């Protein structure tokens, strides 16, 4: 008898876990639009490093991440980060695993991956509950732009984007009710940030608009 071998089967490798629940009324993988999914399915990293990943083993790949991005370059190559986001959508890890990603203080890219995934699939209350504390995480993150060049951003800036923007990393983010709406419904208590707590009372509530975090530029020759 011939020995068995494991062959690459695109239909099998790209299929959503049959036990996965729908997200926002659709196949979880459809949270990433088709053209971007197709690029991910065709890239080497997806075929060689994401095939066979489980909810437990995906954390090892996340620990190896060294930059954050959507797609980049003239051919809009998908980043490893975006590949792992799609893999999470495909296999749908338990909520407890994703919360552990978010609470991981040792590996900042694991934390960002968990936050990004929760923003795509989570309930509004969970998103605010688990992501807002990360607004106090000021660690540096390497971000790769559309031109393929790197720049420095920070964990809190990414979290602010997740809570306030409509699109991030070439992914359309699901509608998120405004925090004030949930406060009015008494579903969330008012959040006072570290910075807001130090502000004078001169600014009225009507004058305040959420602003992205601001970080001073590093001094010359400062290590990244």
Q: Give the start-end residues of each E strand in the chain.
A: 71-72, 77-78, 140-144, 150-154, 167-168, 171-172
| DSSP-assigned states of every residue in 25-70 | TB-GGGGS-HHHHHHHHHSHHIIIIITT--TTTHHHHHHT---B-S
Q: Provide the β-strand partners of residue 23.
A: 26
Residue 42: CA count within 13 A, CB half-sphere: 9
Instruction: Tell me the pTM.
Output: 0.81
Residues 6+ positions from 157 with CB-CB distance below 8 Å: 212, 213, 215
205: its two tokens: 């509530």
Phi and psi angles of residue 171, each rounded to the nearest 5 degrees, phi first: -120, 130
> What whole-number distance in Å separates Cα of residue 204 and Cα of residue 200?
10
Taking every pair of C-alpha atoms in the chain, what is the biggest distance, in angstroms?
82
- Whether 171 contacts 32, CB under 8 Å: yes
In order along its 224 residues, the chain shows pLDDT tens digits of 444 444 546 656 676 655 566 666 678 889 999 999 999 999 999 999 999 899 889 999 999 999 999 999 988 999 999 999 999 999 999 999 999 999 999 999 999 999 999 999 999 999 999 999 999 999 999 999 999 999 999 999 999 999 999 999 999 999 999 988 898 888 888 876 655 555 545 555 555 566 777 776 655 555 55
């Amino acid at each position: 008898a011939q020995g068995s071998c494991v062959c690459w089967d695109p239909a099998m490798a790209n299929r959503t876990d049959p036990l996965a629940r729908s997200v926002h009324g659709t196949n979880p993988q459809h949270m990433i639009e088709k053209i971007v999914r197709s690029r991910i399915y065709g890239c080497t990293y997806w075929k060689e490093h994401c095939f066979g990943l489980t909810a437990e083993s995906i954390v090892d790949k996340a620990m190896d991440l060294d930059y954050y991005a959507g797609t980049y370059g003239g051919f809009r190559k998908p980043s490893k980060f975006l590949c792992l986001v799609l893999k999470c959508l495909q296999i749908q890890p338990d909520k407890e695993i994703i919360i552990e990603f978010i609470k991981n203080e040792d590996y900042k890219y694991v934390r960002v991956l968990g936050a990004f995934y929760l923003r795509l699939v989570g309930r509004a209350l969970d998103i605010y509950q688990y992501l807002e504390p990360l607004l106090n995480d000021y660690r540096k993150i390497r971000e790769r732009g559309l031109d393929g060049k790197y720049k420095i951003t920070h964990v809190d800036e990414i979290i602010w984007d997740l809570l306030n923007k409509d699109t991030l990393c070439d992914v359309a983010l699901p509608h998120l009710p405004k925090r004030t709406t949930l406060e009015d419904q008494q579903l969330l208590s008012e959040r006072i940030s570290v910075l807001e707590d130090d502000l004078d009372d001169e600014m009225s509530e009507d004058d305040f608009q959420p602003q992205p975090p601001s970080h001073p530029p590093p001094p010359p020759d400062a290590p990244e």
